[in-house]
Amino acid sequence: MNERDVLLNELAQGLRPPAEGIAWFEGLAEDEQHEVLLLLREFCVQARATGEDAVEAIRRSGLRPTHTPSVLILAGRFDQQLGKVAALRPRHERIKAFRLLVHVLGSADARRRERYCADGCGHDWHRLGGGAA
């Protein structure tokens, strides 16, 4: 895992404060922000995120249900909607999308860890912060 992957997983697992992640994301150039959103989308797909994860992520992220990323993620086939959220272009929407996707990943990964990795696994991202899964 590279530094960016570690950072994103630490944010999703609550090992770093959300404000730190948002400050980092805001400091990236637009094309880098887009790459990060696409990467988060991929992580969410790998973690088998669901619509239920999205509902929980909206609540945990502090976004309103009427914010564009919140509306988009619940508006159709979940895997397609993740891509639409990751593709948002206006700067203020990219920041909201980042917040939302980090929390979707956190919710999905926590569920998978509980169900499939409780007795141990080989996932590097489950050993961040000194914990072992």
Retrieve residue 66's tokens: 């009427």
- How many Å apart are CA 2 and CA 12, to the nearest integer? 16
pLDDT band at 132 (very low <50, low <70, confident <90, very high): very low
E strands of 23-92, at which residues?
Answer: none
Q: Which of 120, 98, 123, 133 is nearest to 11 (CA)?
A: 98
pLDDT at residue number 129: 60
- How many Å apart are CA 129 and CA 93, to the nearest integer? 30
Mean pLDDT, all residues of the chain:
90
Query: pTM score, two decimals?
Result: 0.88
- How many Å apart are CA 97 and CA 57, to the nearest integer? 11
